[in-house]
Structures are given as C-alpha cells and as structure tokens.
C-alpha cells in the first residue's frame, strides 16, 4: 500500500525577494537611506503618506532597478509598485533620488537627498 504524499502548490507568478517599504513623510523619506540585498533580490516600495501626489526621480545613469529608467509617480495616500534591485548595480554605491514636490516644509533646511544602496 502506497502512502500519499502531499504536493506543495507553487503560486503562479510568485516572485522571489521581498519589498522593503519607504514612507514618504515630511521632512524626508523614512528610512532616508535603504539597503537592498542583491543576492536576496530585494526591492523597494514607496508609501506616500501625504495628501499630495509625489514623484520619485533618479538620474538615468543612476537607475539601480531591473525595470527601465522612469519617473515613479505615487498618488496621495497610495503605494508604488515594487522596484527590484538590479543584480549588476554597483554595490555599496548610494543611488540618490529626489522627491517632487519636496517633503521639506517651507523655510526649513533639507535633511539631504535620500538613497538606495545595493549591499551584497
């Protein structure tokens, strides 16, 4: 008599890696600098916690993701899709981005530009 062995079902479209959140809150994204593991195929998702739409911009030569370079538009109160770190991105290099319109309140100094860093 044979024993039945349960088969593990794999979801179609399931992707490896996790997406780490970055909250868009004044005066700067939190965390300001995010480290993503290239070996674990991690990614980032921006969560716009403001009452205004925001755009994330990287310089085209500093685009660290698998997706083609683009502006990332995030409506008020919404999240972006997950952007996975590119395996060939420079390691330990800060890929600086800007948030437009700025998260810094008027008449206050900015905390510096935030970044994404591939760390392994």
Tens digits of residue pLDDT in 58-95: 998 999 999 999 999 999 999 999 999 999 999 999 99
Q: How confident is the model at residue 107 (pLDDT cuts 50, 70, 90)?
A: confident
CATH topology of domain 19-118: Immunoglobulin-like (2.60.40)
- Residues written for the chain: 120
Give the residue from 108, 86, 109 showing the smallest Cα distance to 38. 86
pLDDT, residue 37, reads 95
Percent of the chain, pLDDT > 70? Answer: 87
Half-sphere exposure of 104 (CA within 13 A, CB side): 13
Full strand arrangement of the beta sheet holding 83-84: 19-24, 43-48, 83-84
Contact 34, 76 (CB under 8 A): no
Distance CA 41, CA 92 (A): 15
- Beta-bridge mates of residue 34: 116
| Confidence check: pLDDT of 112 > 90 | no
Domain boundaries, the chain: 19-118
Q: How confident is the model at residue 11 (pLDDT cuts 50, 70, 90)?
A: very low
Distance CA 49, CA 26 (A): 9
More confident residue, 107 or 46: 46
Joined together, the tokens standing for residue 29 give 């994204």
């Amino acid at each position: 008599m044979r024993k039945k062995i349960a088969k593990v079902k794999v979801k179609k479209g399931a992707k490896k890696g996790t997406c780490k959140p970055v909250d868009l809150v004044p005066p700067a994204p939190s965390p300001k600098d995010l480290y993503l593991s290239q070996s674990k195929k991690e990614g980032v998702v921006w969560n716009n916690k403001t009452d205004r739409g925001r755009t994330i911009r990287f310089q085209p030569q500093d685009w660290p993701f698998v997706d083609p370079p683009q502006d990332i538009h995030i409506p008020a109160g919404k999240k972006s899709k997950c952007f996975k770190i590119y395996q060939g991105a420079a390691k330990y290099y800060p890929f600086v981005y800007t948030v437009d319109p700025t998260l810094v309140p008027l008449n206050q100094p900015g905390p510096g530009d935030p970044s994404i860093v591939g760390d392994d």
